Amino acid sequence: MSDMDAVAITAGLVRFDTINPPGNERPCLDWVAGLLEPAGFRIEWQELGPDRANLIATLPATGSATRAPLVLSGHVDTVPLGQAEWRVPTHEGLIRDGRIWGRGTSDMKSGVAACIRAALDMAALPARAADLRLILSAGEETGCDGVLALADAPALLGEAGAMIVAEPTDNRPLLGHKGALWMHLHHRGVTAHGSMPERGDNAIFKACATVATLRDFDFGIDPHPVMGPPTLNIGTLHAGMNTNSVPDLATIGIDIRSVEGQSNADILAAVAAAIGPDAEIETLTDMAAVLTPEDDPWIAETRALCAEITGASAGRETAMYFTDASVLKTAFGHPPTLIMGPGPMAMAHQTDEYCETTLIEDCTRAYAEVARRYLA
């Protein structure tokens, strides 16, 4: 099986249903371990629950390592299928019309497959001056649960001298991504009969006042030269049990995307100050922004090399979404980190998800050359 190309490995990964929840990533990662272990990789597991685990696979240096490991990272859980009917099989790994189809082909089993294939190629090198480590995680789609557990196990996590996170970027080598701060704002009132609203305290009115306040929320900073401005979106509003009662609870869901230089803790404090005492804040997700300066030597060399091999642009860009890099980069002590994978960004989480096979092949060649130079 170690002779499988990256497209075939993608198909193999897609055939495992790892929709999260519940995840069930362990059987998929067991299959991956069966590819890596015979090639000389040391396999370590972090158990997360029934049929759930993180896989850490290390290809050791052939002698004394002269630098910290190169880390290739990806997750194998996927999002649910959605309500729309699919026109292609969801978990067969169908290859047709120059594309591989199915849930996870873009986000991000194609990227994981490219990491695996490139790593297997490195096992054939006669000399390696550093370890190569694969961190394949569970639970990313529900808030980076897998790598958060791994960050709490530093002996298992180890070190990193540089890192590639293989999220979908259409093979564009990105410098990082925005952070994420998600929260629920709970507004409490007093219920009463709908014909006597003066006897109650309507929680919806309080929530509407919060919405009006946050609609024009001022972060107080200029747009970041690479990431652009931070953003705030009000995504949900839930209130009331029935039409003829005064609602005593109204909850709105807030999605803030932060930029380098901002502290999510400071943003949270600013939101609390703006909305006042009428809302209780429940933090759901707190992920820092990720950015490596474009003049970092490894980043500069790697982005130029990847652009040359894949033909993708290497502009001053970051992703809008967040990734496991939010956790791993901090846990590793902030090594230079590249966000790059073959998946089309526009197809992530979509019905009839796909990835072009040529993107997977090009990405694999780029990863392999980056790893070859690093391990030399």
Residue-wise pLDDT tens digits, 285-332: 999 999 999 999 999 999 999 999 999 999 999 999 999 999 999 999
Asked if 368 and 118 touch (Cβ cutoff 8 Å), the reply is yes
Indicate the Cα dihedral angle 136, 138, 144, 147, nearest 10°: -50
* 213, two tokens: 């306040």
Mean pLDDT, the chain, integer: 97
Other C-beta atoms lying within 10 Å of the C-beta of residue 101: 23
Between strands 52-59 and 42-49, the pairing is: antiparallel
Residue-wise pLDDT tens digits, 219-253: 999 999 999 999 999 999 999 999 999 999 999 99
The C-alpha atoms of residue 77 and residue 295 are separated, in whole angstroms, by: 33
Task: Give residue 1's pLDDT.
Answer: 55
List the end-to-end C-alpha distance of the chain, in Å, as a whole number.
26
pTM of the model: 0.94
Task: Give residue 57's pLDDT.
Answer: 98
Measured between alpha carbons, how far is residue 48 from residues 121, 146, 251, 332 in Å? 30, 7, 31, 21
Evaluate if residue 105 carries a pLDDT over 80. Answer: yes
Non-local (6+) Cβ contacts of 48 within 8 A are: 54, 138, 139, 145, 146, 149
The C-alpha atoms of residue 87 and residue 191 are separated, in whole angstroms, by: 47
Identify the residue whose tokens are 């929680």: 203
The C-alpha atoms of residue 324 and residue 330 are separated, in whole angstroms, by: 10
The residue count of the chain comes to 376
Domains of the chain listed by start with CATH number: 6-177+290-375 (3.40.630.10), 179-287 (3.30.70.360)
Asked if 4 and 12 touch (Cβ cutoff 8 Å), the reply is yes
The C-alpha atoms of residue 172 and residue 338 are separated, in whole angstroms, by: 10
Give the confidence band of 15 by pLDDT, cuts at 50, 70, 90: very high
Q: Which of 149, 166, 131 is nearest to 348 (CA)?
A: 166
Residue-wise pLDDT tens digits, 126-165: 999 999 999 999 999 999 999 999 999 999 999 999 999 9
